[in-house]
Amino acid sequence: DIQLTQSPSFLSASVGDRVTITCRASQGISSYLAWYQQKPGKAPKLLIYAASTLQSGVPSRFSGSGSGTEFTLTISSLQPEDFATYYCQQLNSYPGTFGQGTKLEIK
């Protein structure tokens, strides 16, 4: 099974900051990686798919990059509504897997 490891697990930042979250896969998954945002009590929301493609309606301050085993999610200028938990996920092969999550908190 493919394992996904996110770092950091917790991130404290301020409005306007640029932040980057990393997701490493235990084996190559080409570009089959997605990023989700989840707020408390809500379903996850798709942000990025195919490693770098922005889902329709998602603000352009979100971007993704990477391929193979290392991927990043970058938020260029944090907005108040961006404080949430972020997950990476691979569906390149089953069982599908999620990273353990990165909780982004207000400094």
Partner 1 sequence: EVQLVESGGGLVQPGGSLRLSCAASGFTVSSNYMSWVRQAPGKGLEWVSVIYSGGSTYYADSVKGRFTISRHNSKNTLYLQMNSLRAEDTAVYYCARETGGNSLDYWGQGTLVTVSS
Binding site residues, partner 1, CB under 8 A: 1, 32, 34, 36, 38, 43-46, 49-50, 53, 55, 87, 89-92, 94-101
Phi first, then psi: give them for residue 82, nearest 5 degrees. -85, -10
Nearer to partner 1, 83 or 87 (CB): 87
**Closer to partner 1 at the Cβ: 57 or 80?**
57
Residue 47: both structure tokens together: 């942000």
β-strand pairing of 102-106 with 10-13: parallel
For the CB of residue 33, give the shortest distance to partner 1 in the complex, in Å: 8
Instruction: Please report the sign of the dihedral spanned by the C-alpha atoms of residue 37, residue 60, residue 96, residue 26.
Output: negative
**Residue 55 or 67 having the CB closest to partner 1:** 55
